[in-house]
Amino acid sequence: MLEIRLTTVALTGNRPGTAGGFTMVELMVVLAVLGAVMVLAAPGYRALILNNRMLSETYALRATLSNARAEALARRAPVVVCPTANGTACDTSRTNWATGYMTFVDTNNDMLADATNADEEIIQYEAREGSTTTTFDNLANRVRFNPRGHALNSEGTFTFCDPRGAERARALMLAPVGSLRSAVDTDSPEDGIVNDASDTNVSC
């Protein structure tokens, strides 16, 4: 009798007699593809980081100014926001607000924070990383809200810049009445650069 024997071969990803893994050519192809993907993705990733930093600085200063105005109204006392190096005293010679700013009550109108005076409390200190450049075009280089929440003589434009220049800059405009609004491109046709309170392109 003819005996028929069937041999079952397990199906695997490798051919019989070959070892598992990738060949050198396959590894080189994978590395080349990964390299190409990283080259294409890197600019977008960098832009995302810079955009997030810019937004963070803009929102932080906006929140500080809005809070200072609210404190002036609530306390019925002048409140000052200014750049600082240490959180205890104004340093209006610092042109870059992104390195830090503070808020304090200024009942005697001397523009100086007095930690020993209960009526001149230091309300807030924002120690920033300085990852962007934030400038204020008011010559006094500080903001003072009066007891009615007005910012008379403190109005101006805060401009936020990073290494990408004016085309990626943001700006906040502070009105004499104390209100804040984001700057937009008011040029016609638009040139991609936001304009300050005088409808002039911001510069970095």
* Domain spans in the chain, listed from the N-terminal domain onward: 36-182
pLDDT digit string (tens) for 5-42? 544 444 444 455 555 666 877 667 667 666 655 556 55
- Measure the CA angle with vertex 112, ends 111 and 118; round to 5°: 115
Do residues 84 and 112 lie in contact, with contact meaning Cβ atoms separated by under 8 Å? no
d(CA 202, CA 166): 7
Model confidence band, residue 119 (pLDDT cutoffs 50, 70, 90): confident
- pLDDT the model gives residue 34: 65
Work out the percent of the chain whose per-residue pLDDT is above 70.
79
The residues with which 124 forms a beta bridge, in sequence order, are 103
CATH topology for 36-182 is minor pseudopilin epsh fold (3.55.40)
Question: Minimal CA–CA distance to 149: which of 51, 77, 99?
Answer: 77
Distance CA 80, CA 103 (A): 6
In the predicted structure, residue 199 carries a pLDDT above the cut 70: yes
**Residue 129: per-residue pLDDT:** 80
